[in-house]
Structure 1
Amino acid sequence: MKGHRPARGIALIALAALCFATMDTTIKYLGAFLPVLLILWARYAFQAVSMGLWLMLTPESAASRQAPRGGQGNLGTALRFLVRSKTAGFRTEHPRFQLARGALLLATSALSFFGVQRMPVAEFTAINMLTPVVVTLLAAWVLHERVSAPRWALVCAAFAGAVIVIRPGSGLFGWAVLFPLAGALTYASFQVLTSKLSALESPYTTHFYTGLTGALVLTPLLFFSAIDTDGTLLAAPPRQLALLLAIGALGTVGHLFLILALGLAPTATLMPFIYLQIGVAAAVSWVVFRYVPDGWAWVGMGVIAVCGAASAWLNMRKTASHPATSTVAADTIAD
């Protein structure tokens, strides 16, 4: 792998886990003061704007942005070159893929943003990170892929871990557990789609269209909702506005850390470290809310982390013979 630096990749994965755990905790905190729909819109609007600026300001390859030579170009040629160079990163050959991918991630984020208001962050994070084992199920069901016995064992064990966390009948979380469970399903669907099509587009372009799709869907919903957006934002103290921007920044930068990390080390090397997010979520939640999961919750979260990491490693090892797969396809953190 070009630029193979696993230590730096692992460090970036740890930073991504910190970003997402901090973002989820901030969402839970800010949801007590601002409408969750507004927070969700701000997260995607920030990503669309920031990644749009990134694509405009980040140089493409020298060949693609080489100016006309020999003094033969006129003003019109120069202007066309300028427009072409500034918009190259926005070009997509597969708009339906971008729309479907963005819609699936938006659904996952909506389930996360609303669900984390009703569950502790650490437990929510653990259940939501069943994604790799759900990907295994979808691969067998939708793609008709052969699933080995060890992978089926990991699927069963991971769901057993979720049952330990949830403890049906205990009354700990009630119907709220449907949020992370549904989120794992929508994000697994996102993964299956992306794994088949993501090599066709630049991950940075895809990152922009993911934010744009979310912003375009959420803007009319926010406009026609009962939320007084202008009044709410004007009445919000500066601290809440700063946290609103921080949520967008943490989500956008966290995914960029993942993209950079996956360019420095093999996916199979990095996947287990993504599950640091469960521990980081517990730590950040304790700092903000002074909440500590009980013993059984720790057991269940540990089972999910081990099985999820092992399942992700097996999934990635199976696709190791396809180096064209985009780094976006390996992103198992859904925020």
Structure 2
Amino acid sequence: MAEPPRYAPAQAALGIAFLVLATAFFAVLDTTVKYVGAFVPVLMAVWFRYAFHAVLVTAVMLPMRGRSLVKTNHPRFQVLRGSLLLAVSAISFVALQYMPVGEFTAIVMITPLVVTLLAALFLRERVPPLRWVLVFGGFAGALLVVQPGGDVIGWASLLPLVMVFTYAWFQILTSKMARTEDPMTMHFYTGWVGALVASLALPFVWQAIPDMGTFALLCLIGLMGTVGHFLLILAFKRTQASTLTPYLYGQIGFAMFCGWVVFGHVPGQLELLGIAMIVLCGATASWLTARDRRLPVDQPEA
């Protein structure tokens, strides 16, 4: 009987390390966006995020991969996927100007629950009753975090939820495309679609960058987003999603820490209760997914 590869545990540990590092990068990205939004228009920060991504990925990967990097079977889906992620970034960058980083990140974490909801409503997938309970529990936690009518007033209180639904569609499309498309090709098109579309709006919002410090922060936004998504690719190449998903919630901790260091913000009791509900419902849903997909493995013959 053949033995399983000895490197598998080490690869899984490396994948978890890449994922945790990616969540830290995303927390720094969100915190920097909130800070720099006081000095430059948000759409400028969005443009820097994708322009940096496009140039860096092209400079690093094109010499290594050549024409295969741009080869795709679904160019229209690549454009749609890049546009969806650009919309997610634009909405989230605006939302961060109205709410704390930690609470914003917690709401992002209900995305897997929203994917379940959309799959049931539009893809006609069967959802067991317990999953519906988790979905509604996650939404209840999100409402405790957002608290419409509280500090986040008016239309701004809806932005995080709009962003989550957009991000859920992005994830559904990504899961479909990943079956036939190369991950690095998708990463390449993500940057260029976002940069080109954002460039259309740039002349209407561009203003002089106040100083070199602000310019460095805008570049940091691009670097954190680009490297963070690349680390996600490396993580999911090394181990299965069910192993990694629980560690995604570590981003909430990193975001709360960054929000405390930079802005001196500490979530209140209701916000903490909402965050706990989101983590509990999301982690339980991830465990159920892993359990449902666990199939008996045929042992190979000796």
| TM-score, normalised relative to structure 1 | 0.82
Contact 1:139–1:145, Cα closer than 8 Å, also in 2 = yes
2:29 to 23, 27, 39: 23
- Quick check: which has more Rg, 1 or 2? 1
User: How far apart in 2 are the matches of 1:105 and 1:221?
Assistant: 16
Matched, 1:96 2:76: yes
Aligned to 2:151: 172
Are the counterparts in 2 of residues 138 and 192 from structure 1 also a CA contact under 8 Å? no
**In structure 2, distance between residues paired with 1:187 and 1:195:** 12
Equivalent position of 2:121 in the other structure: 141
Alignment-mate amino acid for residue 81 of structure 2? R
Contact 2:69 2:188 in 1 (8 A): no
How has the CA–CA distance of structure 1 residues 313 and 104 changed in structure 2, closer, same or farther, with 3 Å as cutoff? farther
Q: What is the distance in 1 between the residues matched to 2:270 and 2:132?
A: 24
Answer yes or no: is 1:297 the counterpart of 2:277: no
Would you say how many aligned residue pairs link Structure 1 and Structure 2? 288
1:18-167, aligned counterparts within 5 Å? Answer: 18-58=24-64, 60=65, 86-167=66-147
Q: Is the 8 A contact 2:111 2:164 kept in 1?
A: yes
Asked if 1 retains the 8 angstrom alpha-carbon contact of 2:14 and 2:235, the reply is: yes
Matches within 5 A, 1:217-228: 217-223=197-203, 225-228=204-207
Unaligned runs of 5+ in 2: 296-302
Q: 1:41 to 1:313 in 2, by over 3 A?
A: farther
2:235 is equivalent to residue 261 of structure 1? yes
Of 20, 27, 37, the match for 1:14: 20
The answer on whether the counterparts of 1:272 and 1:310 sit within 8 Å (CA) in structure 2 is no
Amino acid in the other structure paired with 1:104: L
**Structure 1 unmatched ranges of 5 or more:** 61-85, 322-335
Q: Percent identity?
A: 48
Secondary structure of 1:147's counterpart equals coil
Give the drift of 1:310: 2.5
Query: Which residue in 1 is equivalent to 2:299?
Result: none
The answer as to whether partners of 2:82 and 2:190 remain within 8 angstroms in 1 is yes
Residues in 1 aligned to 2:276 and 2:60: alpha-carbon distance in whole angstroms: 38
RMSD across aligned positions (CA): 1.7
The aligned counterpart of 1:271 is 245
The one-letter code of the counterpart of 1:216 is L
Per the TM alignment, residue 226 of structure 1 is displaced from its structure 2 partner at its CA by 4.5
CA contact (8 A) 1:55 1:90 kept: no
Q: Is the 8 A contact 1:135 1:192 kept in 2?
A: yes
SS of 1:172's partner is: coil
Report the counterpart of residue 241 of structure 1 in structure 2. 215
C-alpha deviations, 1:262-319, integer Å up to 9, x for none? 1222110110110111111000110001111111111111111221232234346556
1:196 and 2:170 are equivalent in the alignment? no
CA contact (8 A) 2:19 2:247 kept: yes
Deviates more, 1:159-168 or 1:145-154: 159-168
TM-score in terms of structure 2 length: 0.90
Amino acid at match of 1:129: M
Give the partner amino acid of 1:239.
G
Per-residue CA distance 1:245-271 (angstroms, 9 max, x = gap): 111000010011111111222110110
Query: Structure 2: how far apart are the matches of 1:247 and 1:93?
Result: 31
Q: Is the CA contact 1:125–1:180 (under 8 Å) kept in the aligned structure 2?
A: no
Distance in 2 separating the partners of 1:203 and 1:113: 25
Tell me the secondary structure at the aligned position of residue 238 of structure 2.
coil
Aligned amino acid, residue 43 of structure 1: R
Shift of 1:163: 2.0
SS at match of 2:151: coil
Q: CA deviation at 1:54?
A: 2.3
Any idea what the Cα deviations from partners look like across 1:199-223, whole Å, max 9, x if unmatched? Answer: 2111111011011111110102112
1:309 alignment counterpart: 283
Name the CA distance, whole Å, in 2 between partners of 1:209 and 1:318: 33
2:194 to 184, 190, 214: 214
Q: Does 1:287 align with 2:267?
A: no
